[in-house]
Chains A and B, each alone.
Chain A
Amino acid sequence: TQLLEQSPQFLSIQEGENLTVYCNSSSVFSSLQWYRQEPGEGPVLLVTVVTGGEVKKLKRLTFQFGDARKDSSLHITAAQPGDTGLYLCAATWGYALNFGKGTSLLVTP
């Protein structure tokens, strides 16, 4: 059973387009994290959201935590080729961090 469901699994868009990635669960979390991973490297933390309804912005990236703290979204405005990578949502379950399956994003010039 997958604790965190991410969608879409793959996304290929052109430079300048907007996109949204979703992370859903039936469980309530005290916090949820978003990571970005490039091939051959470890994941890098982008943001942690902790409050239901919270919205955080990181340049062109906007992260939202659902009111019920069961879901989150990542919105990228005017995507650039440098945004290409694997985006992972993660949440602590028990004692360890569990990851969604990830969204592989390709932004072409």
Chain B
Amino acid sequence: GAVVSQHPSWVICKSGTSVKIECRSLDFQATTMFWYRQFPKQSLMLMATSNEGSKATYEQGVEKDKFLINHASLTLSTLTVTSAHPEDSSFYICSAPSGGGDTQYFGPGTRLTVL
């Protein structure tokens, strides 16, 4: 099946710094990718939709100036958490649809810890 990778798998940073997370579709092209956030013991919450060639679409309550999304190519989307704070510590997961339909392929996630 289709493979989606994320890098890094985990990152620890100091409060106030920025962190970039990459999401790549390895064997297919994705004009759209999705970014989710998952807090401990909770489900995945959609943050934003990354669109190749256009601006990202953010869900209500997600600050677009804090979570910068860039869909650099048909196989790469990046999420930059700017001026990170401890409350941004979470598990960030990306996904991409492949082959049409509703099937989404998920990356392995990135664990962000902000000290």
Contacts and interface: CB of A to CB of B under 8 A. Distances in A.
A61 B47 CA distance: 31
Contacts of B45: 99
Given A40-B109, A42-B93, A43-B44, A97 B49 contact: no
Interface stretch (A51-59, A75-83, A100-108): A100-108
Interface residues of A, number: 24
Determine the interface band of chain B, counting residues with CB < 8 A from chain A: 20 to 34
A88 interface: yes
A48 B102 contact: yes
Interface string B49-64: 1000000010000000
B49 A104 contact: no
A33 B97 CA distance: 14
14 contacts: A31-B101, A33-B102, A33-B103, A40-B111, A41-B108, A42-B93, A42-B107, A43-B44, A45-B104, A45-B105, A95-B49, A96-B46, A97-B102, A98-B46
